[in-house]
Amino acid sequence: MPVFNAPLDDIRFVLHELLNTESLSELPGYEEATPDLVDPVLEEGAKICQDVLFPINQSGDGEGCHFENGEVTTPKGFKEAYKTFIEGGWTGVSADPDFGGMGLPMVVNTVMQEMICAANFSFGMYPGLSQGAYEALHHFGTDEQKALYLPKLVEGSWSGTMNLTEPHCGTDLGLIKTKADDNGDGSYSITGTKIFISAGEHDLTENIIHLVLARLPDAPEGVKGISLFVVPKFFANEDGSVGDRNSGVTCGSIEHKMGIKASATCVMNFDGAKGWLVGQPHKGLKAMFTMMNAARLGVAMQGLGIAEVSYQNAVAYAKDRLQMRALTGAKAPNKPADPIIVHPDVRKMLLTGKAFTEGARALSYWAAMHHDIANKHHDEATRQEADDLVALLTPILKGYLTDMGSVVSNLAVQVHGGHGYIWEYGVEQYVRDARIAEIYEGTNGIQALDLVGRKMSQGYGRLLRRFFHPVQKFIETEGENPEMMEYVMPLAKAFMKLQQATATIAQKGLKNPDEAGAASTDYMRQFALVAMGYMWARMVKVSLEALEGEPDNKEFYEAKLQTAKFFFSKMLTEADWRFKSLMAGAEPLMAMKAEAF
């Protein structure tokens, strides 16, 4: 049977010792967000993830969702779990208190997202989509729309979706055909078909609020002609209660998928469905990107969550499974064989999972903390700097964390050997669930193109400076510290090559865009590894300082140092060959004629 325990010790280490998120309590609206409040909230969150969501993860995968007569039934236990979830207020952790939310920092919600995705990836899809809908309406909705929809989304009695993809177009939203005709009364008639709509139909909430991209009759071609509409499954009565069915909204079918089988992925048909414009005409893409950017950070946490639970199960199995003797002699002489955790190759797989999850946790929480600064800080320049850093890190986090979610889940299967291939042991589900995260909300290839095509050049390199400057300062300061040398020197060398790669891509890409495209994925991975190295070096510094005080949990900090050594010697080295690969240019990729494939 699979296992999951929320990694609260490491979460607290990152929040309080590494990032000092208590400083967020100095921002307006976050005054109560001190460890005295945050820690108990996360402890309760861990309990619901461990005790309510995790026990129905494997059974939900085995049963899947049921579709009949346009209605979707979620697996056994999901309705009850969702009821418990919303009663605890977990759908409104970082939502505006004016609409019933807790008003806690986004970084706290990010921690919850990680734990939810580790415990039950499929379940997390339902409240996750609602959060995206909340963000779009909170930023772009009218006062009336906010008053009607946001309290219901925050309390979780209503849920939300995002409807972008159509049968003929995914990433290229300029090709969408769904149309919106003015009804003359402030509403619009929406007609078209959307596919791959997560949580488009289900039985967890009394209403579902669809945010739909469509074109007005006078819309210009391409992405500049897209508008956003809110299309409820049920209309609301004057008192806010659920009213008549919006008959033009129906679910045509659900997909039979490789993974996340307890999450309903729907074909949604809009046949003259009644909806209302959100934001300005033809400006829907900007509003939808508010949802998508929040969703991309959420998907990054799916990668981290699935890696964490995969790693935990691999460790549990490696400590229990007896096979052969250690190469240096028996380590468990009272047993017929040693546990496989004594073998170097098994340890390499486990340490890869450990080094990734702990580094990725630090990096993603750092980004989430800057999201809070961007939203709340009193100084405009500071807000802009923080927003720049989040914008830069978003494609890196989405791309790298989900790629590595697949890697670590596959390593967990390998550690389990033949048992990993068997459904009952649970880890093969993690491989299937993890795979989608590399695809949706923009494939990881698209994330890499976003990084080199938009983020690199934005503001004449302004976004890059938000990362490069603090890393350079850290290297200069800590490079003189003898205890830090073995960690700072590899980081400094990798950072230098990242700067060189950045300059090369910028120069070559201006002459030939294929050069930037060919380098993009290698560059994103190189950037992610340097960013992870920066966070690991910072964690080393904190751990060394903690060990000077002879703490009771000395082993915790010693393990941090040992894991950091593994990262810098065994994982950061990937950045070097990524650099060599991208420097080879576009010719090896683009020279061959299509007919030769």
Backbone angles phi, psi at 108, to 5 degrees: -70, -45
What distance, in Å, lies between the first and last C-alpha atoms of the chain?
45
d(CA 99, CA 214): 28
Is residue 464, in this structure, part of any structural domain at all? yes
The answer to whether position 582 is within a domain reads: yes
Determine which one of 441, 515, 550, 558 is catalytic.
Answer: 441
Give the pLDDT of residue 98: 97
Residues in the chain: 597
Residue 25's nearest CA partner among 90, 107, 86, 109 is 107
23 inside domain: no
Give me the pLDDT at residue 196, please: 97
Residue at 261 is within a domain: no
Strand partners, 269: 193, 250
> 93 in a domain, yes or no?
no
Tell me whether residue 266 is in a domain.
no
Phi-psi region of 222 (alpha: psi -120 to 50; beta: other; left: phi over 0): left
Tens of pLDDT, residue by residue over 41-70, are 999 999 999 999 999 999 999 999 999 999
Q: What is the pLDDT of residues 325-361, one digit of tens each?
A: 999 999 999 999 999 999 999 999 999 999 999 999 9
**Residue 174, pLDDT score:** 78
Residues of the chain with pLDDT > 90, as a percent, come to: 95
What does pTM read for this prediction? 0.97
In this predicted model, what pLDDT tens digit does every residue of 224-256 receive, in sequence order? 999 999 999 999 998 889 999 999 999 999 999
pLDDT surpassing 90 at residue 32:
yes
Quick one: average pLDDT of 283-289? 83
Residue type, 444: N
At 406-419, the pLDDT tens digits run 999 999 999 999 99
- Which residue, 227, 81, 241, is CA-closest to 158? 241
Tokens found for residue 179 = 């149309």
What confidence score (pLDDT) does residue 170 get? 77
Asked if residue 293 has pLDDT above 80, the reply is no
What's the token pair of residue 136? 């779009």
Give Cβ neighbours of residue 232 (< 8 Å, ≥ 6 apart): 207, 208, 209, 210, 246, 249
Residue 507 has pLDDT above 90, yes or no: yes
Range of the domain at 580: 457-589
Token code pair at residue 141: 């909705």
Q: How far apart (Å, rounded) are the C-alpha atoms in residues 425 and 435?
A: 18
Place of tokens 């986090």: 397
471: three-class secondary structure by DSSP: helix
- 380: annotated active-site residue: no
Residue 20 located in a structural domain:
no
**Total count of domains within the chain:** 1
Nearest to 251 by CA among 44, 66, 480, 48: 66
Has residue 443 got a pLDDT over 80? yes
Answer whether residue 366 is part of any domain: no
Instruction: Supply the pLDDT for residue 554.
Output: 97
Please identify which residue in the block is written with the tokens 């006078």: 218
pLDDT value for 7: 98
Report phi then psi at 245, rounded to 5.
Answer: -75, 140
Q: Which amino acid is at 531?
A: A
Mean pLDDT of 415-426: 97
Q: Which helix (H) or strand (E) holds 229?
A: strand 227-232
CB 131 within 8 A of CB 113: no
When pLDDT is averaged across residues 553-582 and rounded to a whole number, the result is 98
Question: Given a cut of 90, is residue 223 above it in pLDDT?
Answer: no
88: enclosing H helix or E strand: none
pLDDT in tens, 526-555: 999 999 999 999 999 999 999 999 899 999
Contact between 53 and 2 under an 8 Å Cβ cutoff? The reply is no
Q: Are 318 and 333 in contact (CB under 8 A)?
A: no
- Look up residue 178 and give its two tokens: 């769904």
| Distance of alpha carbon 392 from alpha carbon 390, whole angstroms | 5
218 burial level (CB within 10 Å; 0-12, 13-18, 19+): exposed
Is residue 104 over pLDDT 90?
A: yes
Contact 18, 538 (CB under 8 A): yes
* Residue 585, number of CB atoms within 10 A of its CB: 16
Place of tokens 């510094």: 541
Q: Which residues contact 469 (CB under 8 A, 6 or more apart)?
A: none
Mean pLDDT of the chain: 96
pLDDT band of residue 285 (cuts 50, 70, 90) is: confident
**Residue 172 confidence (pLDDT):** 79
- Confidence label for 290 from pLDDT (cuts 50, 70 and 90): confident
DSSP, collapsed to helix, strand or coil, labels residue 322 as: strand
